[in-house]
Amino acid sequence: VLRQITQDVESGSSLSEAMEKHPKVFDLLYTNMVRAGEIGGVQDVILLRLAEFMARIQDIRSRVKGALFYPVVVMVLAFAVITVLLIFVIPTFAKIFARERMELPWITQAMMSASDEVKKWGWLVILAVGAVYLIHRILLARSEGYRLRRDRFLLKLPLLGDLQRKSLLARFARTFGTLIQSGVPHLEALEIVKGSLGNKEIQRAVEAIRASIREGEGLARPMQGSPVFDEIVVNMVDVGEETGELDRMLLKIADRYEKEVDQKIYVVFKVIEPVTIVFLAVIVGLIMLSLLLPMVQLVQRLGKGV
């Protein structure tokens, strides 16, 4: 790709024109900022700004993904451990207890019943989960309404929803502010911003802002009618429009929400980590207790027999 871009530039194309030939590598954000730098004669400044922007966006995106990924990994591991215990460990002990004709505690009987149900219906549950996931992926690909409902649901999740909303606000402000600071027109900048967010709810809000600008109005009014933008963002954007420093105000909003995302990630880990550990400890502890109680009885019986 770089070799082709070099050849195009050497043959007379501008850098932005050469980059446009490789949309999978350089999206509209890259090409529009580079074009704005070419027009303004500040290409070196724009490229440095673009590099800083991409580094900050990637950093916050990776941290948010880590915060969202952690509970999923823990729950998957918990499910795997519990499944192994129910399918392989408990049936082995059940045979021993049956051979000794022991009277089992209620908790052991409950675990053995659970083990039997998992072995009996587990494959059906796996098929059902697989089918639901497949339907989910098909609907995401084909139904915009379903994607919108999914994205709204994600934004309403306890703890994680607020984290995602603030992350999206930071990305919106950082991208929009960087683009207009680089000289990209507002309407074109908002179109690029909309494509970079990946959430239908906030994309609808951005489209409402674009419609407002096309009608000759400002940004703040359509923001007030959206549940995505809070009062702080609306007020700061309003001040930025009135003072002619919208780009600087947007970057301040981005700085503010990136700090809040950092704090929120810390809180999420502080809450989720002990909850998941306690959950795992309780479930595994109950399973182990259901095995240990009859084992103690068995040892006592063997001791009396000796």
CATH 1.20.81.30 fits 51-260, yes or no: yes
Q: What is the domain partition of the chain in residue ranges?
A: 2-41, 51-260
pLDDT value at position 34? Answer: 81
d(CA 274, CA 268): 10
Quote the tokens at residue 233.
Answer: 């963002």
Please tell me the pTM assigned to this model.
0.72
Mark the ranges of the chain whose per-residue pLDDT is less than 50.
306
Nearest partner of 257 among 293, 232, 276, judged by Cα: 232
d(CA 64, CA 286): 34
d(CA 20, CA 141): 26
Distance of CA 168 to the CA centre of its chain: 10
pLDDT value at position 305? Answer: 58
Backbone angles phi, psi at 291, to 5 degrees: -90, -35
d(CA 163, CA 7): 44
d(CA 248, CA 253): 9
Give the DSSP letter string of the chain: -HHHHHHHHHTT--HHHHHHT-TTTS-HHHHHHHHHHHHHT-HHHHHHHHHHHHHHHHHHHHHHHHHHHHHHHHHHHHHHHHHHIIIIIHHHHHHHHHHTT----HHHHHHHHHHHHHHHHHHHHHHHHHHHHHHHHHHHHH-HHHHHHHHHHHHTSTTHHHHHHHHHHHHHHHHHHHHHHTT--HHHHHHHHHHHH--HHHHHHHHHHHHHHHTT--SHHHHHT-SSS-HHHHHHHHHHHHHT-HHHHHHHHHHHHHHHHHHHHHHHHHHHHHHHHHHHHHHHHHHHHHHHHHHHHHHHHHHHH-
pLDDT value at position 278? Answer: 87
Beta-carbon contacts of residue 18 (< 8 Å; ≥ 6 apart): 4, 5, 8, 9
d(CA 29, CA 134): 33
pLDDT value at position 46? Answer: 78
